[in-house]
Amino acid sequence: MANRSAIMETNKGRITIELYEDKAPVTAGNFIDLVERGFYDGLTFHRYEPGFVIQGGDPMGKGTGGFVDSATGRERRIQLEVSPELPHGPAGAVAMARSQDPNSASCQFYITLGPAAFLDMNYAVFGRVTDGMEVVGQLRAGDRMTGVTIG
């Protein structure tokens, strides 16, 4: 089965992300599930670090929130899923943000704006921008995801 893509519409334009379902099935699957629930639609990017990352996916918009599953009433957290086959590499890596606990990723993600090898094997890379890096480069804190779909 070929990897699918996420199409992220933002107020600055469209970003296409290849999702590494083959190499990061848990992490990519978590992201796909949230996209299919419409979770990211309307959320903002809350963190911009020039030359490093743009981060979004927090329902609270501050970097402190997670996805609370309505079926259980608990915040979903996934196990850290890293591999030497999934380095951050050049700008455009898409990975899960987390707290100090390696197994605390929920719904927040970041897109790298430059090389970030020092994050390898500590944060789960689950995709890469394949189209729209010029849009990623224009995003700032407060910009919005207007809709995200899986294609």
Question: What pLDDT is recorded for position 44?
Answer: 98
Q: What is the pLDDT of residues 112-128, one digit of tens each?
A: 999 999 999 999 999 99
Write out pLDDT tens, residues 19-73: 999 999 999 999 999 999 999 999 999 999 999 999 999 999 999 999 999 899 9
Averaged pLDDT score across all residues of the chain: 97
3-state SS, one letter per residue, for the chain: CCCCEEEEEECCEEEEEEECCCCCHHHHHHHHHHHHCCCCCCCEEEEEECCCEEEECCCCCCCCCCCECCCCCCECCECCCCCCCCCCCCCCEEEECCCCCCCCECCCEEEECCCCHHHCCCCCEEEEEEECHHHHCCCCCCCEEEEEEEC
The domains of the chain, with CATH numbers, are 5-150 (2.40.100.10)
The pTM of this model reads: 0.96
